[in-house]
Structure 1
Amino acid sequence: MSVPVAPRRWPFLGHTPSMLRKRFEFTSSLRDRGEIVKVYLGPKPAYFVTSPRLVHRVLVTEGAHFRKGAMFDKFRPYLGEGLLLSDGAFHRRQRRLIQPAFHRDRIARYAETMAAAAEELVAPWRPGEVRVVDEDAQSLAVTVVGRALFSTAMGERVIEEVRRSVFVVIKQGMVRALSPNFVEKLPVPGNRRFDEATARMRAVVLEVIASWRAGGVDHGDLLSTLLLAQDEETGAGMTDQQTYDEVLTLLTAGIETTALALAWVFHEIGRHPEVERRLHAEVDEVLGGRPVTFADLPRLVWTARVVNEVLRTYPIWILMRRATEEVVLDGVRLAPGTEVIVSPHALHFDPRSFDDPGRFDPDRWSPERAATVPRGAFVPFGAGARQCVGNVFAQTELVIAVATVAARWRLVPVPDEPVRVRFTSAPYPGRMPMTAVPRHP
């Protein structure tokens, strides 16, 4: 079968607005060439899948025949065999061991941590104060994930180190992932900061693991769940290294997604008065001035739709898979080792799946309209067996944080200070100043 071939130029690097437009235009334009398109990563061919139907096959129905692709190989030196990168039987074992940490009853307990952290965030705000919202969102995400993982006094030391180092690891790690191999060996400041940050985080996380081993007490946190987990077949638990890999995976994946989404939520609320009005009406009706609880979530319908629309509007640019055995997609034979690329960004802005995709419209997530979205068209957390294990945790945290802030404050954009997007694989806002205005003076 003849496969359409895209232009050879693949715009991986560059963060200027014009370069970002070229990235998005390139990946979005591929849908006009067909559902599966050959592209070149330098001299190496790969296949770009553009339709929700084939994306669902790659991620779900044929997911067992793929592993994480080339983009993720460069994360292995510091994420090891954590759930994000492991494969095959080992990945299935680790997911079985970790999954209980994200059951509904555990999420309900974490919700208390989420609400308390959000209340602490807004408590010192003052009327008319300009908040740098992206920094506030990062701080909250670190606090929530850190406290969920480490509930002991020693855990506070880990949280402070995570606050200091995790975004260096995330950002510089993505630069490495999208750069030629030689870049990570250059004696440049970014590489030094990355190496120092990973070394500090490794030392403090292994220290708290050793402390837990010595005490052996279940503190009800994620770390206890990881260290107490035992394989049903062998009775074996995780080694210190395996636990470390999973902890670092949960820290990096759990913090980045939530921090970015939360910042963009308040950006979009500030730009859309009607969205803000409906949000405030809902939190006033549901909460009545009291703190949000896990039991309130089913009634925070509009808040959840706003969160979903932000997850659609600000997804990662691409993700990759590598075939582990021959797979045939619509007559195209993919040999073992073939790289397959999916663009959540292109999928989320495909007008065939979403009416007027450039418009911020939380109502597209009403039950009637959401039911028309094809499988594979909305993948903010991936899909299938490789779907992010913490997706419900993240969505719960976002709804609780948004409701907590919106119940007490409006965040108003600062005039003449436009927010720009800085993109590696995920959409980072440039500095996002917003003025805190009390809703109930």
Structure 2
Amino acid sequence: MPVPVAPRRWPLLGHTPAMLIRRAEFTDALHEHGDVVRLDLGPLHAYFVTSPALTHEVLVSQGSKFRKGAMFDKFQPYLGTGLLLSNGEFHLRQRRLMQPAFHRERIETYASTMARAAASLAARWQPGEIRVIENDMQELAVTIVGEALFSTEMGHRAVEEVRRSIFTVIQQGMIRALSPSFVEKLPIPGNREFDAAIARMKAVVLQVIESWRADGTDHGDVLSMLLLAGMTDQQTYDEVLTLLTAGIETTAIALAWALYEVGRNPEIEHRLHAEVDAVLGGRPVTFADVASLTYTEQVVQETLRRYPIWFVMRRTLTDVQLGDVHLPAGAEVIVSPHALHHDERYFPEPRRFDPGRWTPEFAASLPRGAFIPFGGGNRQCLGNTFAHTEIVITLATIATRWRLVPTRPARVKFTSAPYPHGLLMKAVPRN
């Protein structure tokens, strides 16, 4: 069957201006035009999948017929062949090598780092102080992921560089991914910032790897595990940069938005504080407490629904049938967690932040593919449990001591996801 073409197509530039100008407002509405809709990104034809069932086919049931798509090709020269960008047997081998770093026993060890880092951040706040919450959460996410990756003094210096550079890489990289190839060669400020940030991070991470090679000690961190598994310096660098990129962005965004939504909804705030008080009784949160913080988990689920990654791309390896649409080998396919999570057919009043919707019955009623904050299939984010645990522990730690009250409505800076921008909140002691 012919595939409907999305509206707002420009000559030569296709739908790229609509996506850069209107962002999720544009892609969230594409389901009105069909289960598969054609988008033109400059000269590149892509097929935007809007239904949960076909999304599940792309990510899971027919996942072996797809590889990473054009968006990821733009990142490969800079991020290498880590889990985020690799394909085929190599991807499966690397995933198996890295899985032990995210087993339950390891997560339990990381949980103490999460609680300590969150408590240290909260201890620096002063009553009545106005905090830029997205900056605080970025700092916290970098600290937690950095300490899990690197435990040495040299590693701590690497964390400082990552804190300086990682969000430039993420945000400017997304602009490159949506733009024609010639744009990344232009001598414009964004390109210079991106190239400089990549160069700085590569230099410092390779220094850490060189230091570890000279020392040869198992420090119990992820870097030690990767090197002891026999990875080369380059492959270790690629995986470290992948973990830094994927492990920081999602959690920092989710934490900032969760604190904002809790702070502006008194009923949600009251329920969260009541649960934290009942479960913790004023003591520090532990990994064992996470399972008991059920309403906190609902807040996390709703945050991941409301503020997910915008979209990901896949490329067909062979001919693929998606519903009524036949796609040839080499076709570019787009899947949007944001569009799926804001489809009112599955999430009534999708713009309303409502943790209470996440009852077991509601979660069980969702069709496969409707809720994909961490992707699906053999490319589901390896660190999803790490991220969930980090967000729950941080929310509980902050909630034992503080209320955070927004001083103005949130502003959004949309790149690879809806980033909070200038999220100012007043720190109010609970006692």
Same fold (TM over 0.5): yes
Aligned residue in 2 for 1:233: none
CA distance in 1, matches of 2:423, 2:387: 21
Counterparts of 1:360-371 in structure 2, within 5 Å, are 360-371=353-364
Which runs of 5 or more residues in structure 1 are unaligned?
Answer: 230-236
Q: Structure 2-normalised TM-score?
A: 0.96
Helix, strand or coil at the partner of 2:98: helix
**3-state secondary structure, aligned to 1:204:** helix
Correspondence for 1:422: 413
* Structure 1 residue 43: Cα displacement: 3.2
Matches within 5 A, 1:308-327: 308-327=301-320
2:16 corresponding residue in structure 1: 12
Q: What secondary structure, in the 3-state scheme, does the structure 1 residue paired with 2:256 have?
A: helix
Instruction: Go from structure 1 to structure 2 and tell me whether the alpha carbon gap of 1:382 and 1:181 turns closer, same or farther (over 3 Å shift).
Output: same
Counterpart for residue 86 of structure 2: 86
What corresponds to 2:66 in structure 1? 66
Secondary structure, counterpart of 1:158 in structure 2 = helix
Pairwise CA distance, 1:269: 0.6
Q: 1:211 to 1:79 in 2, by over 3 A?
A: same
Deviation at 1:32, TM superposition (A): 2.0
Q: SS at 2:400's partner residue? A: helix
Percentage of pairs with the same residue: 67
Structure 1 segment 234-273 matched on structure 2, within 5 A: 237-273=230-266
Cα separation, 2, equivalents of 1:128 and 1:277: 20
- 1:123-147 Cα offsets, whole Å, 9 max, x none, are 1211111111111000000100000
Aligned residues between the structures: 427
Shift of 1:66: 0.5
Match of 2:333 in 1: 340
Seen in structure 2, the aligned counterparts of structure 1 residues 39 and 14 have a Cα distance that, compared at 3 Å, is: closer
Q: Match for 1:432 among 420, 423, 428? A: 423
SS in 1 for 2:16: coil
Q: Deviations over 1:5-29 (max 9, x none)?
A: 323345435899xx33xx3343233
Cα contact 1:13–1:178 (8 A) shared by 2: no
- Structure 2 counterparts to residues 385-400 of structure 1, below 5 A: 385-400=378-393
- Residue 302 of structure 1 corresponds to 295
Q: 1:41 to 1:191 in 2, by over 3 A?
A: closer
- Give the partner amino acid of 2:297: A
What is the DSSP-based 3-state SS (H/G/I as helix, E as strand, rest coil) of the residue aligned with 1:371?
A: helix
Distance change (3 Å), C-alpha of 1:338 and 1:264? same
Asked whether the 8 Å contact 1:413–1:434 carries over to 2, the reply is: yes
Q: Which residue of 1 aligns with 2:284?
A: 291
CA change 1:186–1:423 in 2 (3 A) is: same
Q: Is the 8 A contact 1:13 1:179 kept in 2?
A: no
User: Relative to 1, partners in 2 of residues 1:197 and 1:44: Cα closer, same or farther, differing over 3 Å?
Assistant: closer
Amino acid paired to 1:42: G
User: 1 CA distance for matches of 2:120 and 2:353?
Assistant: 30
**Aligned-pair distance for 1:374?**
1.1
| Residue 112 (structure 1) aligned with residue 112 (structure 2) | yes
Q: 2:374 matched to 1:349? A: no
C-alpha contact 2:18 2:26 (8 A) present in aligned 1: no
Q: CA deviation digits over 1:205-226, x for unaligned, max 9?
A: 1111111122221111111111
Could you tell me which amino acid in structure 2 is paired with residue 310 of structure 1?
T
How far the C-alpha of 1:33 sits from its partner, in A, is 2.2
Decide whether aligned partners of structure 1 residues 244 and 321 sit closer, same or farther in structure 2, where only a CA change above 3 A counts: same
In 1, distance between residues paired with 2:145 and 2:311?
25
| RMSD of aligned residue pairs (Cα, Å) | 1.4
Q: CA deviation at 1:187?
A: 1.5
Distance in 2 between the 1:44 and 1:73 partners? Answer: 13
Change (3 A) 1:14 1:155: farther
Structure 2 unaligned segments of length 5 or more: list them.
none
The 5-angstrom pairing of residues 402-413 of structure 1 reads 402-413=395-406
Q: Extract structure 1 runs of 4+ deviating beyond 4 A.
A: 13-16
CA contact (8 A) 2:46 2:331 kept: yes
The whole-number CA distance in structure 2 between the counterparts of 1:176 and 1:89 is 28
Instruction: Specify whether residues 163 and 28 from structure 1 end up closer, same or farther in structure 2 by C-alpha distance, changes over 3 A only.
Output: closer
Compute the TM-score of the two structures, normalised by the length of structure 1: 0.94
Q: Distance in 2 between matches of 1:145 and 1:14?
A: 35
Give yes or no for contact 1:68–1:322 (8 Å, CA) kept in 2. yes
Offset from partner CA, 1:53-100 (integer Å, 9 cap, x none): 000000001111111111111101111001000000100000000111
